[in-house]
Amino acid sequence: MTIDSHQHFWKYNAQTQDWINEEMSVIQRDFLPADLEPILKQNNIEGCVAVQADQSEVETDFLLALAEKNNFIKGVVGWVDLLADDVYERLEHYSEFGIIKGFRHIVQGESDSEFMLRPKFKNGITELGVYDFTYDILIYHFQLEQALNLVKLFPDQKFVVDHIAKPDIKSGEYAAWQTNIKKLALHQNVYCKISGMVTEGEWKDWKTSDFKIYLDTVVKAFGTDRLMYGSDWPVCLVAGTYEQQLNIVQEYFSSFTTLEKKKIMGANAVKFYQL
C-alpha cells in the first residue's frame, strides 16, 4: 500500500491557524478530504495519515470524524496534553478508536530547551507505551540534542522524526544537523519522515539538488527500513505543488530497488503506525 504518512486538514480560522502568515496566504483557506483525495489518486497514493496541526482535543476529534467518513485516511496522529495529570484517562479514551495511531506535540514552538525532558512530559510518553501509541517528534534541527536525550530514556517507545528534524536547508548548513540526526538514528525505535523539506528551503527558488545531502544523510543513518514518505500537504503548497515535492523523493529513490521504494512509499508507514 502506498501511503502519504504526513498531511493535515483544517477549516481555516485566522486565530486557530495563527502560524499561517501573509507569506503563506496560499494556504489561508479550508483544506479537507475532498481536496486531498483526488490528488492522492492522481499520484497513485492509496492512503494517508492525518496529523494534528492544532494543540487541542477538539483537533483530535475533528480528525477522528474525518477519518470515520473517508476510508483513504488510514490513521490519525492526534493531540492530548501529555503534561496533564489525567493523561492516562485521556489516552484510555482515545484507545477506543482504532484509527488513532499516535500523538504529537508542537515542540518546535516551545521556548523551553528542556521541554521534552520535563517530568510530566516524560510521564506522558510513558503512558503512550501502555496503549502502544506512537509519538511524532516535531522539532527544529537545533532541538535534536533534546530529542536524543528523550529517546535514550524510552528504548521501547515508537518515535518518528517529522520533516527530517527541519534542517536549515535555506542556508545550506547541515554539519551539526547531520551529526545529531545520525546519533538519533542509532536508536532502532526511531523512524524518520522524508517530509517538509521544500518549506525549509527557498520557497520560490529551490532546486531538487538542494535536498541531496539531506536525503543522503537520512538514508545512510536510518536505512530504507525506517524512512517514510510524507507530503506535509497542504503546508507544502507554499513552496510548490504536491507533485513537485513528491518528485524530489521519487527522483532521488529512482535507482533504488523495487522493494526499497515500496518500503519508503508506504510499507514502513504501515508497519510503524499499524495501518
Predicted confidence at residue 234, as pLDDT, reads 98
> Where do we find the cell 484509527?
99
Q: Which fold has domain 3-273?
A: TIM Barrel (3.20.20)
- Three-class DSSP category at 148: helix
Q: What is the pLDDT of residue 63?
A: 98
Mean pLDDT, the chain cut into blocks of 10 residues (275 residues total): 98 90 94 98 98 97 98 98 97 98 97 95 97 98 97 98 97 94 98 97 94 98 98 98 98 98 98 98
* CA pair distance 185, 147, nearest whole angstrom: 11
* Conformational region of residue 167, where left means phi above 0, alpha means psi within -120 to 50, and beta covers everything else: beta
C-alpha to C-alpha distance for 31 and 220, rounded to whole angstroms: 35
For residue 15, the model assigns a pLDDT of 87
The amino acid present at 74, given as its one-letter code, is K
| Three-class DSSP category at 77 | strand
Note the pTM of the prediction, 2 decimals: 0.96
| Predicted pLDDT at 16 | 87
H, E, C per residue of 1-70: CCEEEEECCECCCCCCCCCCCHHHHHHCCCECHHHHHHHHHHCCCCEEEEECCCCCHHHHHHHHHHHHHC
Q: How far apart are CA 50 and CA 233, in angstroms?
A: 10
Question: Of 105, 108, 109, which is closest to residue 79 (Cα–Cα)?
Answer: 105
Neighbours of 38 (CB within 10 A): 9
DSSP code, position 79: -
Q: Where are the domains of the chain?
A: 3-273
Q: Which residue has the cell 489561508?
A: 28
